[in-house]
């Protein structure tokens, strides 16, 4: 279970720093429309690394990546970037 703690710490460190909030703060709701920022290639890469570091095996990793929308579709674009 140590891997999942590392993943949580990783996500809290980067997500909290980008949003300007502390680890215990509740995130604000994202606004719709043109202001919504897209998920960058670097964010997808970091998320995949975080998931892989906490996964218990290849099947677990693949299932988690799929659930999070981090596996590219037929067009080569992960759902999180649509």
CA-to-CA distance for 49 and 23, rounded, in angstroms? 20
**The pair of three-digit structure tokens given for residue 38, joined into one six-digit string:** 């897209």
DSSP character at residue 80: G
Domain locations in the chain as residue ranges: 1-20+40-73
Which pLDDT value is given to residue 1?
A: 43
Instruction: Give every residue of the chain whose pLDDT is below 70, as ranges.
Output: 1-37
Which pLDDT value is given to residue 63?
A: 93
Closest by CA to 47, choosing from 19, 7, 74, 2, is 7
CA-to-CA distance for 60 and 81, rounded, in angstroms? 22
| Residues whose CB falls within 8 Å of the CB of residue 80, separated by 6 or more in sequence, listed in order | 39, 44, 47, 68, 69, 70
pTM across the whole model: 0.55
Which pLDDT value is given to residue 26?
A: 62
Which pLDDT value is given to residue 76?
A: 87
């Amino acid at each position: 279970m140590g891997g999942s703690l590392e993943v949580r710490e990783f996500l809290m460190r980067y997500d909290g720093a980008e949003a300007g909030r502390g680890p215990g703060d509740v995130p604000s709701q994202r606004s719709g429309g043109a202001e919504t920022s897209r998920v960058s290639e670097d964010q997808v890469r970091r998320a995949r690394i975080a998931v892989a570091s906490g996964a218990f095996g290849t099947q677990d990793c693949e299932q988690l990546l799929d659930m999070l929308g981090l596996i590219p579709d037929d067009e080569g674009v992960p759902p999180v970037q649509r």
